[in-house]
């Protein structure tokens, strides 16, 4: 009972607090308005005027500004109210001197214009800088990779092997694939999956990275084995079949955007070749967190289709995508083959039926489209438009609760939606491991990061 | 003398009140000046700025919170706003936490701002008579901007220099005119609509407003405007003129307009904080291409069977008769550029020995790079500072690499007759690692220390015969800052207030005299002294200790040796750049970053080999 009364008091206090806050906010708004008016009047005065009124206005501005600053963290002081009063008096005086209404409008317009201009240029700046931030690596993450790499090479070759490798090709187990060059992101995908799974002993993780990151990522999982689950780390650079069978090396395109340059990003179209012994695999992007047991996906009826994905064609939602946003429908071949209204879907969490994929030779189809796209501008860069055309008519919709998108660019994703979702996806620039990540979503990711690990501590990676 | 500083645009008139030129530095939101001043509690509630008149001698800074949006802001914007606030808060304390945890370990180029009064260096003729005549004050749109630009620089440092350069002027005058008219019409409409006798006029006004809204909704550039736009404009003008002729209750019009000003200013403020934060982030993080390079080199190092060097080199490392250059660096490209530019301009490179001191993280990459690349006849040694086995060094504490520390200083001139433009400077001083020099290079008598953000454009051999007049440290002086201006940082110690601050970048160090005077001991004592006072001034510690340690022991090198500012000053003279023996990219905009100042990057880039396989594999293309 005491507890209850305590709670009531707390609630009451909070009410009072928020009420005072509101009063202060009101006052602050009033003060701002006073300042604007005072500044306009100052604008009317002839240059270098030192009249009594000008002096007074300047003094009042200073006073009110100070009062405004103080009222931010403390309660409104009496003197603040006093200052507002004096300001009011001065403004009244000024309004008697300067009465020209349309001139006033002009001044105010000029002030607004200045601010508008600033907003315009700053928005441009922000866009540029956010993209720039996407092309940089936090120092802590870099440090972590470097330390792990050095550690890996200090191991004897026989110490570099993972246990349970006989399970890797068993088609009766739950196989997950992650393609990534980011050790921390990989670690979160794996550990979040394991911690939310009911039967981790039947889970096999296939991490594919490049030769640069293989040592660091392997070392991480050697130091932090994923419970009962099995893990495999491979390098894309050892996939010789890429050049022998397809005559391609997935060479990097000359673009600054990492999403387009990464060969790992395009490896998804070769899944049947990466895993020749498997029939089904769940492909996860490295910017996801798994929050529920997802083995239920293996029981979803794929209706003979190849790709199980959540759809992104609900108009009005932030995730809304339409075919013609990335695909050029003015091309007759495109217009003939695809419907512009066809529902779009997302990568991030995809169930692939590799058996059906092989039967329909979709990798071959992908290759044809890739080559066509190299000859003329059919679609934008990146794997998504190519995915849409490759898996056209081969995609089955999954319930949206399986996979919630937008945590990397949209600050309006509902909390309920996020917490109900089996997989949440930080698609967009604002990855949770970057400083520009959206703060309120970071905790869902952070809780799977081993901050207490010695290497993270050494590299100054903190919560 | 009194000084004052402003942060809000419309305070431009205040300058009339001020007599002195006063430089004040503020914290930029990420640069924890506040920690210097021990005001971290206030910092948690947001980015602070000062608006107070302040006596130059006292430390009486007041910190106010940035004012954020009113309740009229819609929800999503509010979310965003809190988001940015979060970012700022988080980064501030995070940095500081790390500083405190291992102030010695800091291996980054920290840029720290601190306030200095500049009244000493620019004695102002106190002529109070206003000589400004004929300054016509019209509502110039960019005028207010000008002022806020200056306060921006005080607050955010080189971010504001960067954005000034990136600003593009509006070309779309017609669109601007339309917006203006729409604005005025909207302001008048409610009052006119209240006059029942003028139904027709209010209808007309409404139609015009809707039409303009439609047009502006469809286009934002002049070229996209529909034909006959001029006609529409004059129609609108006529209607407004009629509306103006009625006696309307102006207070409503006025109020609406003020709200608009307020909202837009809030928005501008919000975006300013956001982009300043992003900028700071961009100059502090590492480009992916450089990370790739470092990883590639490291992996390659371990794959290569042996990198054994000839034993004869070891002899060279220790030979005091040769010219020894020391570079502290964690950036393989940067140190390579320094060495390359030095040997390219050297009359004789066979007697040059470069010692690159780095940390465990970068050691293997550096090792491989300097093994695979040759620099004419010069010798390069890579040392991992964490692995050094120094005698009489307390081996329980790990050695950490610390790069020269950079401090941002802003000078702000406010003067009655002319605005002296604000000046942002970056000074850099020796950090903890530099004080290991006499121990690391026991056999050597003299070294030249080069920062990794310089390039060399002349033969440096003259430095070796340079008469140091018995001093220990030959450095370029930075007389814009005199020690007396730093007395808040230097404390009660005895020092000559008139002596200038000095810069790292290019330093001749006489190790013999250093050992004789046991300067390392002095430095460590000063650091200990400061730490034991426990004032949490972690960053100022090395600044203070370095300046005091070399008190009276600095030999001033001729200014022609080094031109600094290529990391922050867009306005350097090209002739001056060509002539300088050494270019110093001090400041935030390092040449290897995408934010580096484009016109200076060429001077740096030409010392990279574009054919290098590692560079092209990693898309390194600074």
Residue B261 forms contact with A (CB below 8 Å): yes
CA distance B591 to B596: 5
Q: Do B267 and A125 touch (CB under 8 A)?
A: no
pLDDT at B31 over 90: no
In chain A, how many H helices and how many E strands? 19, 11
Secondary element (H or E) of residue B548: helix B538-549
CB atoms within 10 A of CB B543: 24
Which tokens is B425 given? 């400077």
How would DSSP label each residue in A257-282? -HHHH-HHHHGGGGHHHHSTT-SEEE
Q: Do A119 and B267 touch (CB under 8 A)?
A: yes
> Where in chain A are the domains?
1-99, 139-459
Residue B76 has a pLDDT of: 39
CA distance B435 to B445: 15
Q: Please report the residues numbered 82 through 121 in chain B whose beta carbons come closer than 8 angstroms to any beta carbon of chain A.
A: 83, 86-87, 90-91, 94, 97-98, 108
Instruction: Please report which confidence band the pLDDT of residue B241 belongs to, taking 50, 70 and 90 as the band edges.
Output: confident
Residues of A in contact with B90 (CB under 8 A): 439
Q: Which residue of A has its CA nearest to B292?
A: A212
pLDDT at B228 over 60: yes
- The answer to whether the beta carbons of residues B548 and B490 sit under 8 Å apart is yes
pTM for the model: 0.73
CA distance B504 to B592: 19
Question: Tens of pLDDT along B53-93?
Answer: 232 322 222 222 222 223 333 333 334 433 333 333 333 22
Residue B146 forms contact with A (CB below 8 Å): no
CA distance B403 to A405: 42
DSSP class of residue A298 equals: G
pLDDT at B5 over 50: no
Q: How close B544 comes to chain A (CA, Å)?
A: 26
pLDDT at B114 over 70: no
Residues of B in contact with A42 (CB under 8 A): 10, 13
CA distance B325 to B356: 8
Residue B493 forms contact with A (CB below 8 Å): no
Q: Do B65 and A28 touch (CB under 8 A)?
A: no
Q: Which residue of B has its CA nearest to A437?
A: B87
CA distance B260 to B186: 11
Q: Tell me the C-alpha to C-alpha distance, in Å, between residue B20 and each of A49, B1, B124, B200, B411.
A: 19, 6, 7, 59, 12
Unique residue bearing structure tokens 């013999």: B512
Higher-confidence position of B323 and A71: B323
Could you tell me which residues come within 8 angstroms of residue A137 by beta carbon, excluding any fewer than 6 positions away? B285, B286, B287, B288, B291
Predicted complex ipTM: 0.75
Q: Do A113 and B176 touch (CB under 8 A)?
A: yes
CA distance A371 to A258: 21
Residue B392 has a pLDDT of: 61
Higher-confidence position of B48 and A159: A159
Residue B393 forms contact with A (CB below 8 Å): no
Write the burial class of residue A355 (CB in 10 Å: 0-12 exposed, 13-18 middle, 19+ buried): middle
Could you tell me which residues come within 8 angstroms of residue A176 by beta carbon, excluding any fewer than 6 positions away? A193, A203, A204, A205, A206, A281, A282, A283, A284
- In chain A the first and final C-alpha atoms are separated, in Å, by 37
Q: How close B302 comes to chain A (CA, Å)?
A: 7
Instruction: Please report which confidence band the pLDDT of residue B51 belongs to, taking 50, 70 and 90 as the band edges.
Output: very low
CA distance B545 to B130: 44
Unique residue bearing structure tokens 């994703």: A413
Closest CA to B159 of B286, B285, B273: B273
Q: Where are the alpha helices (DSSP H) in B157-245?
A: 158-166, 173-193, 199-218, 229-245
Q: Tell me the C-alpha to C-alpha distance, in Å, between residue B502 and each of A114, A242, A311.
A: 41, 58, 63
Residue A102 has a pLDDT of: 65
Question: Tens of pLDDT along B117-153?
Answer: 433 333 333 333 322 222 222 222 333 334 455 567 6
A173 φ, ψ (degrees, to nearest 5): -100, 175
Q: How many CA atoms lie within 13 A of A7 on its CB side?
A: 4
B526 φ, ψ (degrees, to nearest 5): -65, -40
What chain B holds in terms of domains, given with CATH numbers, is 154-284 (no CATH), 288-618 (3.90.550.10)
Which tokens is B203 given? 């209808």
Residues of B in contact with A438 (CB under 8 A): 83
Q: Please report the residues numbered 42 through 71 in chain A whose beta carbons come closer than 8 angstroms to any beta carbon of chain B.
A: 42-43, 45-48, 50, 54, 58, 61-62, 65-66, 68-70
Q: Which residue of A has its CA nearest to B140?
A: A110
pLDDT at B282 over 70: yes
Chosen for mutation from A46, A121, A180 (greatest number of chain B CBs closer than 10 Å) is A121
Identify which of A43, A109, A128 has the shortest CB distance to residue B180.
A109
Distance of CA B376 to the CA centre of its chain: 35
Residues of A in contact with B286 (CB under 8 A): 136-139, 142
Chosen for mutation from B29, B44, B186, B261 (greatest number of chain A CBs closer than 10 Å) is B261
Secondary element (H or E) of residue A9: helix A2-44
Residue B243 has a pLDDT of: 77
Write the burial class of residue A163 (CB in 10 Å: 0-12 exposed, 13-18 middle, 19+ buried): exposed
Residue A244 has a pLDDT of: 82
CA distance B47 to B30: 8
Residue A332 forms contact with B (CB below 8 Å): no
Residue B80 forms contact with A (CB below 8 Å): yes
Residue B168 has a pLDDT of: 62
- Angle, helix A78-97 to helix A2-44, in steps of 10 degrees: 30
Q: What average pLDDT score do residues B434-442 get?
A: 94
Q: Of A70-84, B12-26, B36-50, B332-346, where does mean pLDDT reach its minimum?
A: B36-50
Higher-confidence position of A300 and B37: A300
Question: Tens of pLDDT along B397-421?
Answer: 557 888 888 887 766 544 444 445 5
CA distance A401 to A36: 49
Higher-confidence position of A9 and B21: A9
Q: Please report the residues numbered 413 through 452 in chain A whose beta carbons come closer than 8 angstroms to any beta carbon of chain B.
A: 435-436, 438-440
Q: What average pLDDT score do residues B18-36 get?
A: 31
User: Could you tell me which CATH class the domain A139-459 is placed in?
Assistant: alpha beta
Residue B421 has a pLDDT of: 56
Q: Which residue of B has its CA nearest to A67?
A: B64
Residue B38 has a pLDDT of: 26
Give the pLDDT of chain A (463 residues) as one tens digit per residue. Answer: 455 555 555 556 656 666 666 777 778 878 888 888 888 777 777 766 778 888 888 888 888 888 877 766 566 677 888 888 888 888 888 777 776 666 777 777 777 777 877 788 888 888 888 888 777 888 899 999 999 999 999 999 999 999 999 999 999 999 999 999 999 999 999 999 999 999 999 999 999 999 999 999 999 999 999 999 999 999 998 998 888 887 765 554 444 444 445 788 889 999 999 999 999 999 999 999 999 999 999 999 999 999 999 999 988 787 888 999 999 999 999 999 999 999 999 999 999 999 999 999 999 999 999 889 888 889 888 889 999 999 999 999 999 999 999 999 887 888 999 999 999 999 988 899 988 888 899 999 999 999 999 999 989 898 8
CA distance A404 to A424: 5
Q: Where are the alpha helices (DSSP H) in A74-213?
A: 78-97, 101-134, 139-154, 183-196
Compute chain A's Rg from CA coordinates.
30
Residue B115 has a pLDDT of: 44
How would DSSP label each residue in A338-360? --TTSPPB-SSEEEEEHHHHHHH
Q: What average pLDDT score do residues B298-326 get?
A: 85
Closest CA to B269 of B91, B78, B73, B66: B66
Chosen for mutation from A48, A428, A463 (greatest number of chain B CBs closer than 10 Å) is A48
CA distance A272 to A280: 9
Residue A109 forms contact with B (CB below 8 Å): yes
Q: Do A47 and B137 touch (CB under 8 A)?
A: yes
Instruction: Please report which confidence band the pLDDT of residue B46 belongs to, taking 50, 70 and 90 as the band edges.
Output: very low
- The answer to whether the beta carbons of residues B55 and B2 sit under 8 Å apart is yes
pLDDT at B11 over 80: no
């Amino acid at each position: 009972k005491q507890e209850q009364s305590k709670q009531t008091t707390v609630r009451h206090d909070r009410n009072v607090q928020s009420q005072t806050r509101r009063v202060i906010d009101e006052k602050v708004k009033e003060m701002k308005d006073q300042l604007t008016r005072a500044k306009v009047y100052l604008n009317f005065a002839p240059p270098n005027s030192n009249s009594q009124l000008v002096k007074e206005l300047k003094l009042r501005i200073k006073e009110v500004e100070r009062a405004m600053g103080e009222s931010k963290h403390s309660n409104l002081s009496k003197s603040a109210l006093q200052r507002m009063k004096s300001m009011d008096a001065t403004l009244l005086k000024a309004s008697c001197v300067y009465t020209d209404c349309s001139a006033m409008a002009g001044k105010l317009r000029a002030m607004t214009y200045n601010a508008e201009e600033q907003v315009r240029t700053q928005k441009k700046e922000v866009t540029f800088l956010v993209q720039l931030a996407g092309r940089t690596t936090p120092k802590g993450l870099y440090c972590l990779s470097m330390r792990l790499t050095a550690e890996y090479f200090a191991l004897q070759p026989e110490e570099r092997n993972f246990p349970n490798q006989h399970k890797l090709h068993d088609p009766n187990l739950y196989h997950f694939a992650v393609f990534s060059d980011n050790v921390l992101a990989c670690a979160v995908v794996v550990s979040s999956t394991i911690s939310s799974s009911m039967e981790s002993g039947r889970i096999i993780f296939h991490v594919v990275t490049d030769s640069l990151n293989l040592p660091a990522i392997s070392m991480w999982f050697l130091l932090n084995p994923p419970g009962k689950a099995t893990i495999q780390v491979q390098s894309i650079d050892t996939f010789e079949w890429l050049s022998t069978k397809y005559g391609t090396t997935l060479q990097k395109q000359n673009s600054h955007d990492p999403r387009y340059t990464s060969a790992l990003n395009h490896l998804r179209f070769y899944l049947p070749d990466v895993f020749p012994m498997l029939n089904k695999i769940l492909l996860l992007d490295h910017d996801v967190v798994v929050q529920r047991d997802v083995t239920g996906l293996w029981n979803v009826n794929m209706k003979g289709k190849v790709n199980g994905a959540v759809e992104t064609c609900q108009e009005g939602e932030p995730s809304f995508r339409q075919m013609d946003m990335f695909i050029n429908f003015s091309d007759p071949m495109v217009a003939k083959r695809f419907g512009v209204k066809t529902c779009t879907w997302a990568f991030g969490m995809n169930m692939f039926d590799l058996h059906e994929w092989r039967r329909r030779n979709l990798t071959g189809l992908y290759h044809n489209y890739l080559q066509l796209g190299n000859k003329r501008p059919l679609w934008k860069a990146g794997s998504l438009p190519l995915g849409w055309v490759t898996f056209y008519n081969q995609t089955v919709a999954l319930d949206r609760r399986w996979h919630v998108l937008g945590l990397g660019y949209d600050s309006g994703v509902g909390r309920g939606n996020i917490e109900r979702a089996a997989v949440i996806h930080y698609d967009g620039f604002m990855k949770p491991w970057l400083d520009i990540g959206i703060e309120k979503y970071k905790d869902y990711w952070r809780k799977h990061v081993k901050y207490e690990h010695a290497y993270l501590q050494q590299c100054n990676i903190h919560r | 003398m009194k000084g004052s500083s402003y942060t809000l645009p419309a305070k431009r008139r205040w300058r009339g009140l001020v007599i002195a030129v006063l430089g004040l530095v503020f914290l930029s939101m990420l640069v924890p000046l506040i920690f210097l001043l021990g005001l971290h509690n206030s910092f948690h509630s947001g980015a602070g700025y000062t608006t107070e008149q302040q006596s130059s001698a006292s430390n009486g800074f007041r910190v106010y919170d940035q004012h954020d949006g009113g309740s009229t802001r819609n929800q999503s914007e509010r979310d965003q706003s809190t988001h940015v606030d979060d970012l700022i808060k988080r980064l501030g304390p995070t940095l500081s936490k790390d500083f405190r945890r291992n102030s010695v370990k800091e291996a980054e180029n920290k840029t720290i701002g601190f306030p200095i009064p500049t009244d000493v260096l620019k004695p102002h003729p106190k002529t109070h008579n206003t000589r400004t005549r004929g300054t016509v004050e019209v509502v110039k749109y960019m005028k207010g901007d000008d002022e806020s630009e200056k306060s921006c620089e005080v607050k955010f440092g080189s971010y504001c220099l960067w954005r000034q350069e990136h600003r593009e002027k509006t070309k779309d005058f017609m669109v601007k005119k339309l917006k203006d008219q729409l604005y005025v019409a909207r302001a008048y409409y409610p009052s006119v609509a209240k006059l029942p006798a003028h139904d027709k006029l209010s209808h007309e006004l409404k139609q015009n407003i809707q039409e303009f809204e439609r047009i502006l909704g469809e286009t934002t550039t002049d070229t996209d405007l529909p034909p006959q736009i001029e006609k529409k404009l004059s129609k609108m003008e006529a209607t407004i003129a009629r509306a103006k002729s009625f006696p309307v209750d102006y207070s409503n019009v006025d109020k609406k307009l003020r709200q608009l000003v307020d909202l837009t200013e809030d928005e501008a403020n919000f975006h300013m904080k956001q982009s300043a934060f992003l900028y700071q982030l961009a100059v502090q993080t590492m480009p992916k291409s450089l990370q790739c390079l470092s990883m590639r080199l490291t992996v390659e190092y371990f794959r290569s069977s042996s990198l054994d060097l000839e034993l004869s080199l070891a002899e060279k490392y220790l030979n005091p008769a040769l010219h020894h250059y020391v570079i502290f660096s964690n950036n393989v490209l940067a140190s390579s550029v320094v060495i390359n530019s030095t040997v390219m301009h050297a009359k004789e490179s066979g007697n040059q020995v470069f010692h690159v001191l780095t940390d465990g993280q970068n050691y293997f990459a550096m090792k491989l790079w300097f093994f695979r690349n040759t620099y004419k006849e010069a010798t390069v040694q890579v040392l991992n500072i964490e692995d050094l086995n120094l005698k009489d060094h307390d081996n329980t504490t790990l050695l950490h690499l610390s790069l020269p520390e950079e401090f941002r200083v802003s000078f702000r001139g406010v003067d009655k007759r002319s605005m002296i433009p604000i000046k942002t400077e970056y000074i850099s001083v020796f950090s903890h690692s530099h004080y290991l020099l006499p121990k690391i290079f026991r056999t050597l008598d003299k070294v030249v220390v080069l920062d990794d953000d310089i390039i060399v454009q002349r033969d440096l051999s003259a430095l070796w015969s340079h008469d140091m007049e018995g001093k220990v440290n030959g450095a370029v002086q930075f007389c814009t800052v005199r020690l007396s201006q730093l007395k808040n940082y230097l404390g009660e110690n005895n020092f000559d207030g008139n002596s200038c601050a000095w810069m790292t970048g290019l330093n001749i160090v006489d190790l013999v005299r250093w050992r004789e005077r046991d300067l390392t001991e002095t430095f460590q004592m000063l650091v200990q002294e400061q730490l034991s006072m426990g004032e949490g001034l972690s960053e100022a510690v090395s600044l203070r200790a370095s300046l005091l340690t070399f008190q009276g022991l600095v030999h001033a090198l001729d200014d022609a040796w080094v031109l600094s500012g290529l990391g922050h000053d867009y306005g350097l003279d090209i002739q001056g750049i060509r002539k300088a023996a050494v270019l110093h990219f001090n400041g935030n905009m390092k040449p290897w970053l995408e934010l580096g100042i484009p016109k200076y990057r060429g001077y740096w880039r030409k010392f990279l080999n574009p054919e290098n396989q590692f560079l092209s594999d990693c898309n390194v293309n600074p």
